[in-house]
Amino acid sequence: MIMENYTVSKVSEEKANEISRVRSKYKDGKFAELLRQWDYEKHEVMDEAIRKDDRVRTKDEVVDNSGRVMQPAVYETKKVNRIATSLEQTIVEIQTAFIIGLDPDLQAKPRNEDEKHMLEVISDTESKNKMRFVNQRVVRSLLSETMVAEYWWSVEDPEFYEDKPYAGVARNRLRCEVWSPFRGDKLVPIKDAYGDLVRFYRFYSIKDDNGIEIQRLMEIDKDEVTLYEHRTGADAGWVILRKTAHGFGKIPVVYMEMERALCDKIQSKRKRIEELESNFADCINDNFFPKVLVNGIVRGVQKSGKTQTIEMSGEGADVRYLTWDQSTNAAESEISRLIDDCFTLTMTPRISPKDLQGLGSALSGVAFKYVFMGAHISVRKHEEIIGEYLSRRYNFLKRAISLQVPSIAKGRSLRIDPVLVPFTIEESTGEDTKEKQKESEG
């Protein structure tokens, strides 16, 4: 990455202390733990310090008649099975699909030409920024990381308005970027007594041409975006790289958070599942191949074609296979129950082909809604947070667009009340619309 050229100025001691206080509000430990939960390769079962390899004896010690050890026993390390599960990722992906797999219903009904044009610019802005995928990213980040932010800024793009004669001399449009902890962003919102965002901080890092990591900070308020950089060496400390007026008159950040990650409540169960599956695999490895139990004196081995017969003598002489009489049903039953609990507690449907086999013919309409009622209830639950987030987004877009396209400024009166549309097969494939058209034609 090529470093930009800036005119820098060192911050005051008071400002440096303020930045330190703000930085301390970010809970590094919490988000490091969330990342460990999300990345199955970082689970406890994969940690050799927690799940230790076995130490097995391969050769007994040799002692003389007096009991003195002539040769110590020989041990070697036996690798144990480490089976991690990406249960958190699976549950979050399914929930994300049900929550935002379909575009929200904006419930916008323009009442005049200005509002109609405002809705058109908003729609084109969303299309240009690929908001369908942005929506999925922000919901996934919320459920797994507990916080996410959307940063908007203005870029020059006169072609954006070529098919909009009402736009006049407008030349700028809006772009957005998603920030979240897993992407390397340390986000600190500052709110007033009423819960309104008054300042926003984003701590992040970049790399210079030599691959050296450099810490940076963006401080955003209703008027400006201030970019800081942390220097090392003789001039160690924070310096201001630049201040830029964003021109929106409102913080161009849309932020949402939740107290706990979606899968926080299933952590103990997921750990138990991984422990059981790993131990079960060890047990199978140790007992899969048959073992021969010999009792008595071996007199010889007779060959007959490809088979061999062991000749035994002595009282109670016997040769038989040692069978694995211990039942594995208990472990399998517990694993199955724990997995069911994880999906039930998070109100997540199991939608693999195997899970859907028992449902008969393809579900549609009311039947689908009843079968996946838990997931739809979960959508309404998360709408408390995500719905507010979307409302703040569209309020910001209306304000920003009215500044960029003054000719439709009166369109800010457009009422937008976004409602989440829970995923259904009919809606996703367009079959529901076709059915409604047939009904209206009939």
pLDDT of residue 83: 96
Sign of CA dihedral 277, 281, 286, 290: positive
CA-based end-to-end distance of the chain: 62
| Model confidence pLDDT, tens digit, residues 290-326 | 777 777 777 777 776 666 677 777 777 777 776 666 5
- Picking from 170, 144, 166, 20, the residue whose alpha carbon sits closest to that of residue 90 is 144
Q: Please report, as a single letter, which amino acid is at residue 110.
A: P
pLDDT of residue 67: 79
pLDDT of residue 434: 54
Mean pLDDT of 346-356: 80
Mean pLDDT of 92-106: 96
| Model confidence pLDDT, tens digit, residues 30-85 | 999 999 999 999 999 999 999 999 988 888 888 888 878 888 888 889 999 999 99
pLDDT of residue 2: 37
At residue 441 the predicted structure's pLDDT band, cuts being 50, 70 and 90, is low
């002595």: which residue's tokens? 314
Which helix (H) or strand (E) segment holds residue 284: the answer is helix 267-287
pLDDT of residue 432: 56
Q: State pTM to two decimals.
A: 0.85
Cβ atoms of residues 137 and 127 within 8 Å: no
Taking the C-alpha atoms of residue 131 and residue 148, their distance in angstroms, rounded to an integer, is 15
Q: Taking each helix axis from N to C terminus, what angle separates 373-404 and 87-100, rounded to the nearest 10 degrees?
A: 60
Mean pLDDT of 379-388: 96
Mean pLDDT of 369-373: 76
Contacts for 406 with CB less than 8 Å, ≥ 6 apart: 168, 170
Q: Is the pLDDT of residue 217 over 60?
A: yes
Sign of CA dihedral 151, 155, 157, 158: positive
Partners of residue 246 on adjacent β-strands: none
For the chain, the average pLDDT equals 89
Contacts for 86 with CB less than 8 Å, ≥ 6 apart: 40
| Model confidence pLDDT, tens digit, residues 274-297 | 999 999 998 888 877 777 777 777
Cβ atoms of residues 241 and 8 within 8 Å: yes
At residue 209 the predicted structure's pLDDT band, cuts being 50, 70 and 90, is confident
Q: Is the pLDDT of residue 105 over 80?
A: yes
Q: Is the pLDDT of residue 402 over 60?
A: yes
Mean pLDDT of 411-422: 96
| Model confidence pLDDT, tens digit, residues 42-51 | 999 999 999 9
* Strand 291-304, strand 62-63: pairing: unpaired
Q: Which two tokens stand for residue 70?
A: 């002539």
